[in-house]
Amino acid sequence: MRATVMHKAHDVTIENIPDATIQQPTDALIRITRACICGSDLWPYNGGPNVEGQRMGHEAIGVVEDVGSDVQTIKRGQVVIMPFVDSDGTCMFCDEGLQSACVHRGFFGTGGELDGAQAEALRIPMADGTLYPLNVGEEDALMPGLLSLSDVMGTGHHAAVTSRVRQGGTVAVVGDGAVGLCGVIAARRLGAEQIILMGRHAPRIELGKRFGATDIVSARGQEAVDQVRELTHGFGVQSVLECVGTEQAMDTSMGIVRPGGAVGRVGVPHYEVIKGAQPMFYNNVIVAGGPAPTRGYIDELLPDVMEGRIEPGLVFDRAVDLDGVPDGYRAMNDREALKVLIRP
C-alpha cells in the first residue's frame, strides 16, 4: 500500500510499504478516507533527530475493513474518527476522560510503534477504545468538520477548557494556525465575550473573525503584550490559548495573562522550562494543557458539527490526493495553505 514517509528536512515522499494488517485480536484495520497534514508535522519536515523513515499522519477518518477477534463494539463497514492517540478505553485515565494519558497510549505517525494516517490504510490498536463510530456516509459533506474532531478542533477545545474559558470571559488566542482558529471557535462556543486573536496572516485573520474573534493583534513580542493589555484595561486576559509551542509564544502568553488567569498550552512545546516562576506565583497564574483527549471531547463537540453550529472544517483550504502530499507539506510550510486535507 502507499503511505507518506519522512526522510529528512524538506524530503517527504509517498512510498509503497507493506500492507497494514491485523496484528492483535483487539486491532481494527481501517481504509483511510480522509487525512490531513498537521502544523506539528512541520517540525519533522523542518528536520530533527531520528526523522528518517518516520511514517506520517495522525488525524483521520476511515472505514473499518476488518476487526480482530476480541473487538466488541467496532464493526466492519463503520465510518470512524481516529483520534491522534490510541487508548484502551478502560484505564483510570480513560475513565476520567483523559484518553491522551491512557496507560497504553501511543501517538500515531510520530515515529513510534504506530504507523501514520497519511496512507491508504492503517492498523488501529485497541479499536474499541480508540475509534469513534459515526452515523454518516463516507462522502458526507460534513467530512472536513468531522475530520477536525480527530485533532485540531478537539485540541482548540482543550486549550479553551484548560485555560478555563467561561461565559463572559476575556480570551487571547496565541497563533492563527488551524489549532488557534479552532481555539477561537471553542472560546466563542464556551461563551467568551472578548476573543483577541494574535496572528499576522490576512486570510487566517479573516477566518478568525468569522469564527468569533472580536479583536486582532498582529504585533509580536513586547508590542503584542502592550496591545493586549491596552485592549483589557491594563490587566490582561483571563484565558490564554497557547497554540504555537515556541518559547516566544509562551513568553507572550505569560505576559498577557491577568492575575488569577490561566494559560492552556496545546502547541507542542519546543522549550525546556517555563520562565517567570515568581511573577506567575505572585499573580496566581495557572499553566495547564497538553495533548488533548480528543476521543473524550467528541461526544460534546459532534452535535455542534453535525448541526452546523460550528464549522471547524473551514480550516481546510486545500485538498490533495496522496501524490499531492509532498507539495501539501511545502505549501503549509510556506504558509501558502492553512491546512491541507488528504483524500488517499
257-265 vs 286-289, strand pairing mode: parallel
Residue 259, interface with a second copy (CB under 8 A)?
Answer: yes
Nearer to a second copy, 123 or 164 (CB): 164
The CB-of-276 to a second copy minimum distance in angstroms stands at 8
State how far the Cα of 323 lies from the Cα of 305, in Å rounded to an integer.
Answer: 29
> 235 vs 324, which CB is nearer to a second copy?
235
How far is 212 from 192, CA to CA, in rounded Å? 9
168 contacts a second copy (rule: CB under 8 A): no
Binder among 38, 41, 79, 93 for a second copy (CB under 8 A): 93
User: Which of 55/105 has CB closer to a second copy?
Assistant: 105
Residue the block writes with cell 529528512: 8
Q: Is 41 helix (H, G, I), strand (E, B) or coil?
A: helix
Please choose, out of 140-148, 149-157, 186-194, 271-279, the segment that lies near a second copy by the rule CB under 8 A.
271-279
Q: Considering the rule CB under 8 A, would residue 272 count as an interface residue with a second copy?
A: yes
User: 123: part of which helix (H) or strand (E)?
Assistant: strand 121-124
Q: Residue 83, SS3? A: coil
Closest to a second copy by CB, 245 vs 313, is 245
Return the residue of 156, 269, 313, 328 that touches a second copy, per CB under 8 A: 269
User: Binding a second copy by CB under 8 A: which of 288, 302, 306, 319?
Assistant: 288
Q: Which stretch binds a second copy (CB under 8 A): 51-59, 136-144, 261-269, 311-319?
A: 261-269
Which residues are paired to 62 by β-bridges?
32, 80
Contact mark string toward a second copy, 2..41, x via CB under 8 A: ----------------------------------------
Coil, helix or strand at residue 139: coil
Q: Identify whether the C-beta of residue 84 lies closer than 8 Å to the C-beta of residue 59.
A: yes
Q: Is 228 in the site for a second copy (CB under 8 A)?
A: no
- Rounded to 5 degrees, φ, ψ at 282 are -65, -20
Measure the CA–CA gap between 222 and 24, rounded to whole angstroms: 53
Q: Which residues pair with 204 in a beta bridge?
A: none
Stretch that binds a second copy, among 1-9, 67-75, 215-223, 260-268 (CB under 8 A): 260-268
Which lies closer to a second copy via its Cβ, residue 293 or residue 344?
A: 293
Among 33, 162, 239, 253, the residue binding a second copy under the rule CB under 8 A is 162
One-character DSSP codes across 174-204: E--SHHHHHHHHHHHHTT-SEEEEE---HHH
Sites for a second copy among residues 298-327 (CB under 8 A): none
Q: Residues touching a second copy: how many (CB under 8 A)?
A: 35
CA–CA separation, 85 vs 237, rounded Å? 31
The interface region with a second copy, picked from 43-51, 189-197, 282-290, 331-339 by CB under 8 A, is 282-290
Which one, of 223, 213, 279, lies nearest residue 243 by Cα? Answer: 213
Tell me how far, at minimum, the Cβ of 322 lies from a second copy, in Å. 30
Residue 112 binds to a second copy (criterion: CB under 8 A): no
Q: Is 281 in the site for a second copy (CB under 8 A)?
A: yes
Instruction: Among 18, 49, 141, 273, indicate the residue that binds a second copy (CB under 8 A).
Output: 273
Which three cell numbers mark 19? Answer: 500492507
Cell output for 201: 496572516
Give SS3 for 11: strand
Close Cβ partners of 233 (under 8 Å, ≥ 6 residues apart): none
**Distance from chain centroid for Cα 183:** 10
Binding site for a second copy (CB under 8 A): 92-93, 96, 98, 100-101, 162, 235, 250, 259-260, 262, 265, 268-269, 271-278, 280-291
